[in-house]
Structures are given as structure tokens and as C-alpha cells.
Amino acid sequence: MLEFSNVDKWYGDYRALDGINAQVAAGEVVVVCGPSGSGKSTMIRTVNRLEPIQGGVIRVEGRDVHDRGCDINALRARIGFVFQQFNLFPHLSVRENVMLSPVKVGGMRPDEAEALARELLEKVGLAHKIDAMPANLSGGQQQRVAIARALAQRPPILLFDEPTSALDPEMVGEVLAVMKQLARDGMTMLVVTHEMGFARDVADRIWFMDQGRILEDTTPQAFFTAPAHPRAQRFLSDVLRTDDVTGAMVPAGQMAPAAHAARCAA
């Protein structure tokens, strides 16, 4: 479905992507994680040419995205992209936001597009907000509308660029729930995220990146229990802690279950 072959990207003298070689098969959910500045967001943005590349080939559905004959707008319509900052269009209602691409790009009739918009907003749990403006919505609601907007393109693949990083912790759950449902429905997804719980529960594979390179490309099971690369080991020890009693991995910043139980008993 998606293939990176020796992809290189430079910002002037700074090497942002260094020989990226990886594939995402149809129906797979791949999570990309890594420290800040590792090139995760840059990599995902090269797929639909929001960022140019200086070397290598990126193929979506077998077609080279930088091919001269490639219609960039038709290609982008086949790729759903969800941004960290939501990027809803504030001058359009929720309904109009979701309908814009199917009508203007897909050539769908407005009444069909409206029915599609209703169906997708129902799916993300926001059917009652169809007439609202983005300014009336919370962050989590805006991001769910953004997901519905991407789904309206009926794309075979969805790209998520840190979809929950700009949300406060209470809203992260509602967006992750929508993403988990999409994964269960068989959508091909490439997700850049710091949400390790989501990665462990839903991902088919995890790519760990650092300094523009993919250092690990394994199953979540392998990654969380026995990461091979020392940089990955250091990343996981910073991000997760093992709870003393239950042995469960707890994200840093949360209280370990044993400590929490002790605190409640005291």
C-alpha cells in the first residue's frame, strides 16, 4: 500500500531523513514513535508531498508519488491526513468542512455528500454537532471532525501526524477510541504518536525512529518487552516504567498501580 525506498531528505545541510526503507501493507496499522526531532512528522508529511524529498522513491498503491505523470490532487484525495493542530476550516460549519472534499474533488452531488457527512459524523460520535462551527467545539471534538473530514475522501490509507499531542489528557481518550475503531474496521493507518498504550493495543507494527533513521521495525510485543537497539531501550525506559507489583508498563507521569493502591490504603 505504502512503500519508502531509500528516502533521503535534507533541510539545507541538516539531514532530516536518512535512507528510510519501510512498507505498510494494506490493512496494517503502523505506529511511528521516537524522540523529538527524529524525523517522524517529516517522514509522514513526505508521503502526500507536503514536504519534498531529495532522494529515494515513495510509492502509494504502487505508484511513485513524484512521477511526472502523477496528478498530485488525485493522489492527495486518496490519502487521508489528520493534523496535530486539527486545521479545520473556521469559516465553514462542521457539515461544510466534511463535505468540501467529496463535492469539490470527488465530484459528489451535494445531497449525497451531506448523507455521507452525516454517516461519518455519526461514526465519530458527533452527529449532533453537524451544524456547529469549529469555534464551538472542544479540541477533542475538532479532531474527531478532522478525522471524519479525512474519511469523507474514502481513502484507502489514513496518515495521522501526532493527532492527540495538542489535546488535554481527558480528550485524548475520545480521539484514540475513534482511531481504535477505524483500526478494527480494517483501515490502513500510519500513525505518528507518543501514545504508547495505543501502540501496544492496536498497532500491527512499530517503527522506532531517531535522527532520521528507522532503528526498529518490529511487532509491539517485541518492541515493548525486548527492544534491540540501545537507543530504543533508553527511549522506553524514559517513557515507560515497570510497575513493581503487577509488572505492567506504566507511562511516565502516571502513578504506578501498586503505589496508587498503597496511597489509597494509607
Partner 1 sequence: MLDILHQYGVMFLIGSWPNGPIGGFAATLILAGLGLTLSFPIAVVLGLARLSPIKPVRWAASAWVIAFRGVPLVMIIFWAYFVVPLLTGTTVPAFLTALCAIVAYESAFLAEIVRAGIQGLPGGQTEAARASGLSYAQTMRHVVLPQALTNMLPSLVNQFVSTIKATSIVYVIGVNEVTFAAQQVNSIELTHALQTYLILAGFYFAACYALSQLAQGLERRLAQRRLGLA
Binding interface with partner 1 (CB under 8 A): 48, 50, 73-74, 76-79, 81, 83, 85, 87-91, 93, 100-101, 104-106, 131-133, 135-136, 149-150, 153
Nine-digit cell string for 62: 504502487
Amino acid at 232: A
Instruction: Return the number of the residue (76 or 205) whose C-beta is nearest partner 1.
Output: 76
Q: Within a 10 A sphere around the Cβ of 206, how many other Cβ atoms?
A: 25
Distance between CA atoms of residues 177 and 250, nearest Å: 19
**Which of helix, strand or coil describes residue 140?**
helix
**Which of helix, strand or coil describes residue 167?**
coil
Instruction: Return the number of the residue (109 or 184) whose C-beta is nearest partner 1.
Output: 109
Q: Minimum Å distance from CB 89 to partner 1?
A: 6
Q: Minimum Å distance from CB 26 to partner 1?
A: 20
Instruction: Return the number of the residue (42 or 153) whose C-beta is nearest partner 1.
Output: 153
Length of the chain: 266
Q: Minimum Å distance from CB 252 to partner 1?
A: 29
Distance between CA atoms of residues 200 and 219, nearest Å: 9
Instruction: Return the number of the residue (1 or 105) whose C-beta is nearest partner 1.
Output: 105
Q: Minimum Å distance from CB 90 to partner 1?
A: 6
Instruction: Return the number of the residue (191 or 202) whose C-beta is nearest partner 1.
Output: 191
Q: Minimum Å distance from CB 45 to partner 1?
A: 9
Q: What is the DSSP letter of 255?
A: P
Closest-CA residue to 50 (of 27, 84, 18, 19):
84
